[in-house]
Structure formats: C-alpha cells, structure tokens
C-alpha cells in the first residue's frame, strides 16, 4: 500500500496524508498536481512525498491526478527552502511556482499538441565593441558558466556602462553550449526593452513571463520554457520559478529594486530566491545594478559575491550634467515645472531632442480639501485621502481600488472652493499641454498600463519618435535606453524621502541615480534637473555630485548605529483584522510570549500600529524583530505565532511573517 504527502495551497504549515489507489499509482510522483477530498469537498494540492506507511489509521484516497507535467525535483527543493526561510505554507509556495500563481493553479490544464515559437524574427542587432571592464566581466562570468559551479557576481556599473551587452554575450555563450538563461527585471516596462534587445540579437526562442500578460499567454510561455523551446526567458519577479530544464545562468537586472520583494501572501524576495536557485543548481548568478543595495554591497565586501565594476559609460561618454533646483526659491509655486527646467525643455524641443519627466506619483492630485469646511475625500477602507484622477474624473484609492465620482463642488458643504495638492503624472501631462501645446507627450504609469496600452507599446512609440516628452513614474526610471533623450527632469525628489521607513534615503538616492541615467545615452551629453525642497539632504546632494561613496559612507554609519541591515537582519510580524481591539490584543499576546521566553540575540520592537494603520478595511499592527541571525529571527517568529494560536487566536485576525522586509510601512 502506498501513501502520498500532499501540500494544499492554504495558510497551513503542514501536509496531509492520502492513500494512493492502484489505478493512480503510476501517475503519482513527487511534484504531481492532484485532487483530494478535504472537508467535504475536492481540493487541489501537490504531492511532496511518498511512503509505504501512514501515521494515521484512517486515511482517505486520492481522488484524481491533474493532467500535465509534475513540478520538477529542483523546483520542489526550491519551494521547500522558500517555505522554511519565509515561514510560508509549502502548498502556497508550490502554487506560486505555476503561471498565474494560485489563480493559474486553480485552472491549470496542460495544452496538448505542438506549440509554435511566437517570436517574430528581426534583423540581428549590431554587436558593440566591449570596453575593457565589460570584457573582464564577460570573461569572469563565462569561466564560471564553463565550470558549471555556483558563483554569485555583483556587476556594479554606472548607468549606460553596457550591462545589457554583457547579458547578451553571456546568454549567447550559454545558448551555444545548449543551455538556457533566465533574466529577471523589476519592471515590465524595462522587460520590454530587454526582450527587444535579445530578440534583435538572437532572432527568436525568447520568452516573456510577467503579470501584464494574460493568464493564457503566461501558461503558453511557461509550457514553452518547460519543453526547452526557449533559450532565454525574461520576466519579472515570479519568473524566478520558470521551469527551465537546461538552466545554466541567472541574471538579476537592477538587483536593488524593491519590486523584487512581494509584499503580500508569499513574501519572498525574487533576487534572493534567484541566488538560492543558482546555488541549488550549481550555476552562476549575476546581479547587476548602477546602485546596488546595501545588502549586496555588504555581501561583496565580505567576499560572498565577486564584485565586477564598470566605472565608465560605453565609449567613455560623459555622465549627465546635474542641476539642483531649490523649489523654496522658485516664484509661482503652483507650477510643476520650474523656470530652469522649462527653459531646458524648450531648448530640447527646438533641437528635436527628447525629454523624460519623472514623478513617482500617479493621478492628478493626491490631496483634495475644501477651503470652506475643511472636508477631505478619504477612503472608507484605508487611512488615506483619495487621489483625484481627471481621466476618468474620480477620486481613487491606490491601495484598495475604491473609486468615487469626483464632483467640482465639495461633497460635504457644496462650496466650489476645493484646494488640490500633491501633484501626480496626470497633472504634469495637463500642465505640459497648457504651457507647451505643440509638444507631443506620452504618459506611462500603472493607470495607462492597465487601461490603455501595454508598457511596451508606449515605450515603442516613444523610441520611434512618436513623442517629444515621456512623463512617468518609476516604470520609466531605470534600465531604459533612448539615445535621443538628452534631458531628464525629476519633478519632486522629495516624494519618498521623508517616509517613516529606514530605507527612504537609500531608495531616493537609487531612484535619482537611475532616472538621471536615462539622459545622454547617445552622442549628445545629457542634462538633469532635480527639483527639491531639501537640496542639502545627503541622498540628493550625493546623486547630484555622482558621488555614491559620499552617500554610502553616511548611510552605512547611520544603519550601523541604529542596528539595521546590512548589519542586522529584520523580520516583521504583521497582525491584521477588521476589529482593531482584537488585532491589538493578538499583537500584545505575541509580544508577551517573546518577553516570557525570549530568543537569545533577538531584539523585539513594538507592538505598534503600522504607519498605514488601516488598509482595505483591516487594521494593522506589527512587531519588528532584529538580530544577527535569520534562523533565530524565524525561531522567535514561530514562537510568537504558536503562542497566539495556543491562546485562542481569533479567526478574524491574521498573523504573517515578513522575513527581510524591504519596507516597514
């Protein structure tokens, strides 16, 4: 008699035992997707182990085996590591490895018959002559590929130093040896240009995996990858689970990006998962960035990563000239475009060059208030004011998606005295239309990407000269290469600088350096105008001077004194529920359990409400655990969670562990 251990995609840190009927036995293997009886219904799950005996006397039978290939042994091992490291249910981790995650698992079906390569073949792109530093990087990583051994590299190159050309050369070497390459990017917009570069160079067999594709497209590309029909897969965070049977190299572009960390459900980090996957397979992994995370720089300093530097732009092109505009000295503060920036923009338009205007806020205005009665339109489910959008005209919550019709008069008293502040990309677009009516403007933010066009369509139009100015959020801030862009305007460098988060300065510095790097990537030197009310802040001053060391030295000293990464590890225990009193009670119970039975080397901060104390109708509290060792943080988190369960955790309150959080909002 044979039995299967099955993990269900439920918030349960355990597996379930089922007897395998004889007629199903040949198809029940580790990684197979199965149907099982569970609480009076059929549930989908994954086989994670087989045995010839059961610890239980009464065991139900497996109901069916789903069609399609099982999850490979390698991805099963990766899933087990993720479940242990991030304190996540194994079934939910396994579901996340499928295209579309839990959604894809629920409707997964194998496609039968031949799958044709959908790639349109293009003329091969010109191979650039490598700079000495590029050549050294290619040589070092190629040797690791040939050795077939785990080797993590940190590729630290200034903007426009030719990191993409290095990725192309390495992928070509891997392909010639019969292997496959996985390239991770943080933003779908960046992915479109990376895919275009690979398709132009290779001509085909390039696949894409990201959330803006339909579920059917994701399943199709996932199946192409599994069958070995793709040489390169480019994708966002979840592409780290792509089933590549001949994987020989993993590239993580813009490795510093917070977008690699999933903030809900399975709270994994795509970059760290990529490094672990490379380690399990015994292959190299290359982490590239112009502004590496402090954690990656620390790993390089400790010798865990091999550091490869690209200190110059290709063809020794100059970095852009930086201008800091102090908005406190600007007259007529209602405009989003300062006088120096307007003059530079007019000059570029006259010379038929292109410009990028960056503002990391979408919508029109983030704060509306009646001057007569003081009314502020606020979200009924979140502790945040609603953002005004003008197309369509509505107040919109960017957290829970609540929408309300935006009236020209105050909804409370009827006065026509609404004051707008906190400008977003829609307002910038409208102001450009009013002040420079002949300018052709494109906008790219989440609203555009979801409602009107895929990011690659907007970027293709801009690259082909279909607009003079591109306005956008962080979707346009990194990795993109437009040779005709000679001007970048950062309209508000202070947007995220003063958030209650220990990484706020680091993220601001990285964004400024990255978006500034979009200027002057062609023959003409670029210019960047950074508008700010705090020009003296180290993050802004260092970015304006192209001096990363100036920023890093100060930031690292502050992190060391406060005991934050990279000097200590963090784990955030998060409590959420509809009843604020119950949430507070559970958070206090968790803290009390750790006070009664402390874990050596773990410091406990809190509990306290999170800065956004109510989100999507749920009140939120958290405990922050700090320590030198991840294993002890996980031990403390499990102790706190188990204590809450033993004391009767209300079903309405959820407890989630976030290992290595990238933000604590």
CATH code of the domain in which 620 resides: 3.30.70.600
Residue in the structure block whose two tokens are 């040589």? 139
Report residue 227: phi and psi, to 5°.
-80, -5
CA nearest neighbour of 33 among 105, 100, 119: 105
DSSP state of 171: H
Q: What CATH number does residue 292 fall under?
A: 3.40.50.300
E runs forming strands in 52-129: 64-65
Which residue, of 539, 558, 577, is where some domain finishes?
558
367 within some domain: no
* Residues paired with residue 390 on neighbouring β-strands, in sequence order: 393
Cβ–Cβ under 8 Å, residues 425 and 389: no
* Residues paired with residue 539 on neighbouring β-strands, in sequence order: none
Which residue, of 509, 533, 558, is where some domain finishes?
558
Is there a single domain that holds both residue 302 and residue 162? yes
Is there a single domain that holds both residue 513 and residue 635? no
Has this prediction a pTM greater than 0.85? yes
41 within some domain: yes
Compute the distance between CA of residue 202 and CA of residue 125 in angstroms, rounded to an integer. 8
**Omega into 566 within 30° of 0, i.e. cis?**
yes
What three-state secondary structure class fits 655? strand
Would the CA dihedral through 645, 649, 652, 658 be positive or negative?
negative
For residue 610, what are the contacts with CB-CB under 8 A and spacing of at least 6?
574, 620, 621, 622, 664, 665
270 within some domain: yes
63 within some domain: yes
Cβ–Cβ under 8 Å, residues 359 and 352: no
117 within some domain: no
For residue 467, what are the contacts with CB-CB under 8 A and spacing of at least 6?
354, 440, 441, 442, 461
Cβ–Cβ under 8 Å, residues 240 and 101: no
Cβ–Cβ under 8 Å, residues 661 and 633: no
Q: State the virtual CA torsion across 638, 639, 645, 647 in degrees, nearest 10.
A: -170
H or E stretch including 325?
A: strand 321-326
Is there a single domain that holds both residue 213 and residue 67? no
Compute the distance between CA of residue 175 and CA of residue 205 in angstroms, rounded to an integer. 10
E runs forming strands in 393-499: 393-396, 403-405, 418-423, 441-444, 469-472, 485-490
Burial degree of 395 (CB within 10 A; 0-12, 13-18, 19+): buried
pLDDT at 120 (0 to 100): 31
- Helix residue ranges, H only, 492-579: 504-516, 538-544, 548-562
Compute the distance between CA of residue 235 and CA of residue 242 in angstroms, rounded to an integer. 9
Is there a single domain that holds both residue 163 and residue 292? yes
Is there a single domain that holds both residue 305 and residue 329? no
DSSP state of 72: P
115 within some domain: no
pLDDT at 101 (0 to 100): 67
413 within some domain: no
Compute the distance between CA of residue 294 and CA of residue 281 in angstroms, rounded to an integer. 26
Structural domain that includes position 469: 317-362+424-558
Q: What angle do CA 120, 122, 124 make, to 5 degrees?
A: 145
Compute the distance between CA of residue 489 and CA of residue 348 in angstroms, rounded to an integer. 12
Residue in the structure block whose two tokens are 């959020």? 473
249 within some domain: yes
Q: Which tokens belong to 240?
A: 């780290």
pLDDT at 12 (0 to 100): 85
CA distances from 625 to 11, 100, 557, 634 (A): 22, 32, 21, 9
List for the chain the helix, strand, coil content (%; round to 5).
35, 25, 40
Question: Taking the CA atoms of the chain, what radius of gyration do you get in angstroms?
Answer: 26
Is there a single domain that holds both residue 270 and residue 218? yes
How many domains is the chain built from? 4
Is there a single domain that holds both residue 173 and residue 273? yes
Burial degree of 607 (CB within 10 A; 0-12, 13-18, 19+): buried
* Average confidence (pLDDT) per 10 residues, the chain, 665 residues: 92 91 94 93 94 86 90 95 96 89 54 36 55 96 96 95 94 95 87 84 85 82 92 93 96 95 91 98 97 96 97 91 92 82 94 94 86 90 90 87 89 84 87 92 84 76 93 86 94 87 93 93 93 94 94 93 94 95 93 94 94 91 96 96 83 91 81
To the nearest 10 degrees (0 to 180), the angle between helices 548-562 and 504-516 is 160
Is there a single domain that holds both residue 630 and residue 526? no
Compute the distance between CA of residue 359 and CA of residue 341 in angstroms, rounded to an integer. 14
**Omega into 665 within 30° of 0, i.e. cis?**
no
pLDDT at 448 (0 to 100): 80
Is there a single domain that holds both residue 515 and residue 602? no
CA distances from 224 to 68, 99, 160, 240, 583 (A): 13, 12, 32, 15, 46
Compute the distance between CA of residue 289 and CA of residue 284 in angstroms, rounded to an integer. 17
Compute the distance between CA of residue 490 and CA of residue 493 in angstroms, rounded to an integer. 6
Q: What CATH number does residue 64 fall under?
A: 3.40.1440.60
Would the CA dihedral through 242, 245, 250, 251 be positive or negative?
negative
Is there a single domain that holds both residue 529 and residue 649? no
**Omega into 390 within 30° of 0, i.e. cis?**
no
pLDDT at 462 (0 to 100): 92
For residue 575, what are the contacts with CB-CB under 8 A and spacing of at least 6?
583, 586, 587, 590, 607, 620, 621, 622, 623, 653, 654, 655
Which residue, of 502, 525, 558, is where some domain finishes?
558
Instruction: Count how many Cα atoms sit within 13 Å of the Cα of residue 408 in the half-sphere of its side chain.
Output: 1
Is there a single domain that holds both residue 461 and residue 544? yes
Residues in the chain, how many?
Answer: 665
CA nearest neighbour of 364 among 414, 398, 409: 398
Question: How many CB atoms sit inside 10 A of residue 172's CB?
Answer: 17
What is the Cα 33 distance to its own chain's centre?
28
Is there a single domain that holds both residue 35 and residue 177? no
Model confidence pLDDT, tens digit, residues 496-536:
888 888 999 999 999 999 999 999 998 999 999 999 999 99
Model confidence pLDDT, tens digit, residues 386-411:
999 987 888 889 888 899 988 888 98
């Amino acid at each position: 008699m044979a039995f299967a251990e099955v993990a269900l995609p439920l918030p349960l840190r355990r597996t379930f035992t089922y007897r395998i009927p004889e007629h199903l036995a040949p198809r029940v293997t580790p990684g197979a997707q199965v149907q099982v009886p569970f609480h009076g219904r059929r549930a989908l799950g994954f086989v994670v182990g087989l045995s010839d005996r059961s610890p239980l006397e009464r065991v139900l039978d497996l109901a069916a085996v789903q069609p399609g290939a099982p999850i490979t042994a390698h991805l099963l091992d990766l899933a087990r590591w993720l479940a242990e490291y991030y304190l996540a249910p194994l079934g939910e981790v396994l579901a996340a490895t499928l295209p579309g995650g839990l959604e894809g698992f629920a409707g997964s079906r194998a496609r039968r018959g031949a799958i044709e390569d959908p790639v349109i073949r293009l003329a091969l792109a010109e191979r650039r002559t490598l700079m000495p530093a590029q050549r050294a990087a290619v040589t070092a990583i190629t040797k690791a590929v040939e050795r077939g051994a785990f080797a993590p590299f940190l590729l630290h190159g200034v903007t426009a130093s030719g990191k993409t050309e290095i990725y192309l050369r390495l992928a070509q070497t891997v392909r010639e040896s019969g292997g496959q390459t996985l390239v991770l990017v943080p933003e779908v917009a960046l992915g479109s240009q990376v895919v275009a570069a690979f398709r132009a160079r290779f001509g085909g067999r390039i696949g894409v995996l990201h959330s803006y594709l339909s579920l059917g497209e994701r399943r199709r590309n996932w199946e192409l990858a599994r069958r070995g029909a793709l040489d390169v897969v480019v994708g966002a965070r979840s592409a780290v689970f792509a089933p590549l049977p001949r994987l020989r190299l993993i590239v993580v572009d813009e490795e510093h990006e917070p977008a690699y960390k999933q903030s809900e459900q399975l709270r994994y980090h795509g970059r760290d998962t990529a490094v672990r996957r490379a380690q399990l397979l015994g292959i190299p992994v290359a982490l590239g960035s112009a502004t590496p995370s402090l954690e990656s720089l620390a790993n390089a300093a400790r010798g865990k990563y091999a550091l490869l530097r690209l200190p110059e732009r290709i063809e020794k092109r100059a970095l852009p000239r930086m201008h800091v505009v102090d908005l406190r000295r600007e007259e007529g503060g209602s405009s989003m475009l300062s006088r120096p920036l307007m003059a530079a923009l007019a000059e570029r338009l006259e010379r038929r060059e292109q410009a990028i205007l960056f503002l990391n806020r979408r919508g029109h205005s983030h704060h509306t208030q009646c001057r007569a009665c003081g009314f502020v339109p606020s979200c009924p489910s979140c502790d945040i004011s609603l953002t005004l959008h003008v197309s369509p005209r509505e107040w919109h919550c960017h957290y829970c998606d609540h929408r309300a019709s935006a009236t020209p008069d105050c909804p409370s008293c009827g006065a026509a005295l609404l004051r707008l502040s906190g400008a977003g990309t829609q307002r910038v677009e409208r102001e450009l239309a009013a002040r420079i009516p002949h300018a052709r403007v494109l906008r790219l933010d989440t609203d555009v990407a979801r409602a009107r066009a895929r990011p690659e369509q907007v970027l293709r139009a801009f690259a082909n000269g279909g607009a003079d100015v591109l306005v956008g959020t962080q979707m346009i801030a990194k990795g993109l290469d437009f040779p005709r862009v000679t001007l970048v305007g950062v309209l508000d460098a202070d947007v995220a600088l003063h958030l209650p988060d220990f990484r706020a300065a680091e993220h601001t510095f990285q964004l400024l350096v990255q978006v500034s790097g979009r200027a002057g990537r062609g023959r003409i030197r670029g210019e960047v105008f950074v508008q700010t009310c705090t020009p003296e802040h180290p993050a802004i001053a260092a970015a304006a001077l192209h001096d990363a060391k100036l920023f890093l030295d100060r930031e690292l000293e502050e992190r060391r004194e406060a005991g934050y990464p990279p000097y200590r590890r963090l784990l955030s225990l998060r409590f959420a529920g509809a009843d604020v009193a119950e949430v507070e009670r559970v958070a206090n119970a968790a803290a009390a359990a750790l006070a009664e039975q402390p874990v050596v080397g773990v410091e406990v901060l809190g509990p306290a409400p999170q800065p956004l104390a109510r989100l999507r109708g749920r009140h939120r509290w958290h405990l922050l655990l700090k320590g030198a060792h991840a294993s002890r943080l996980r031990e403390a988190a499990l102790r706190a969670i188990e204590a809450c369960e033993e004391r009767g955790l209300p079903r309405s309150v959820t407890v989630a562990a976030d290992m290595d959080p990238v933000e604590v909002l």
